[in-house]
Amino acid sequence: MPPTAPTAATPVALTRRARRVYRELALLYPDARCELDFTTPLQLLVATVLSAQTTDVRVNTVTPTLFARYPDAAAYAGADRAELEALIRPTGFFRAKTDSLLKLGAALVERYDGQVPSRLADLVTLPGVGRKTANVVLGDAFGVPGITVDTHVGRLARRLGWTTEDDPVKVEHAVAALFERRDWTALSHVLIFHGRRTCHARTPACGACPLVRLCPSYGVGQTDPVKARRLLRYERAIEAPA
């Protein structure tokens, strides 16, 4: 059994171990990126709103038609509710999401001349937009570093011993303190990739994870290498640790 990483004794040790984890994940997932399809900040904002309680894959099946039908904020503001609901129904919670998109379009038109703002303080004032959504848009549409604390990032941050907090904002601040600002967006991507493919919520594939010597939570999941590999959701094989 691989040794379990000890809890960092000092902030310096914690930071060093966290950054080593990031380097390992960056090597494991060199193509990590936002998995929502988009070409403009508005498209990413809308797609992120739709991604709540569903998968990016499901959102990507809906957005080509949606984006063609509603090319700008004014189109969302003036959308027919029934038509919009029908288009986004496959993403789930379509009535609430429709309400958010109608209000979002109106707010963008009224406050920002139809343009998506590029500041966190402005983004979080928009209907249906919290810090998680705002950081996705900032990082991937505007190139402004941000940490996206979704369920994967929060779970991995706790399992890796970076924080004990459950509140997403507190998790965001705790993780941000461990890394260079320039790495925040890329860090979010690799954590999300690892959470989706290896470090699952219910049964993480511990025995097939390259972070076993860096992770204080090794053993919470399947440790048998053969069984763990069956749990992987990644397009290429990941070598089980020796």
Q: What is the pLDDT of residues 117-146, one digit of tens each?
A: 999 999 999 998 999 999 999 999 999 999
- 132 is known as an active-site residue: yes
Start-end of H helices in the chain:
11-28, 41-50, 56-69, 73-77, 81-88, 94-112, 120-123, 131-141, 151-159, 168-176, 184-197, 225-231
- 150 is known as an active-site residue: yes
Instruction: Summarize pLDDT for 185-197 with one digit per residue, the tens.
Output: 999 999 999 999 9
Tally of CB atoms within 10 A around 149: 26
Q: Write out the two tokens for 93.
A: 């919670």
Of 182, 188, 108, 105, whose CA–CA distance to 153 is shortest? 188
Q: Give the pLDDT of residue 234.
A: 58
Q: Which of 97, 140, 150, 183 is catalytic?
A: 150
Q: Which of 132, 170, 183, 224 is catalytic?
A: 132
Residues 6+ apart with CB under 8 A from 57: 35
Q: Give the pLDDT of residue 233.
A: 85
What percent of the chain stands above pLDDT 90? 91
Task: Give the separation between CA 138 and CA 119, rounded to whole angstroms.
Answer: 7
At 166, the pLDDT band (50, 70, 90 cuts) reads: very high
Model confidence at 82: pLDDT above 80: yes
Q: Give the pLDDT of residue 121.
A: 96
Model confidence at 2: pLDDT above 80: no
Average per-residue pLDDT in the chain?
92
Distance of CA 2 to the CA centre of its chain: 29
Domains along the sequence of the chain with CATH: 11-30+147-231 (1.10.1670.10), 41-141 (1.10.340.30)
Instruction: Summarize pLDDT for 172-222 with one digit per residue, the tens.
Output: 999 999 999 999 999 999 999 999 999 999 999 999 999 999 999 999 999
Q: Give the pLDDT of residue 9.
A: 54
Q: Write out the two tokens for 67.
A: 């984006």
Phi, psi of 208 (to 5 degrees): -120, 15
Q: Give the pLDDT of residue 236.
A: 38
Model confidence at 6: pLDDT above 80: no
Segment 102-126 shows an average pLDDT of: 97
Task: Give the separation between CA 14 and CA 25, rounded to whole angstroms.
Answer: 17
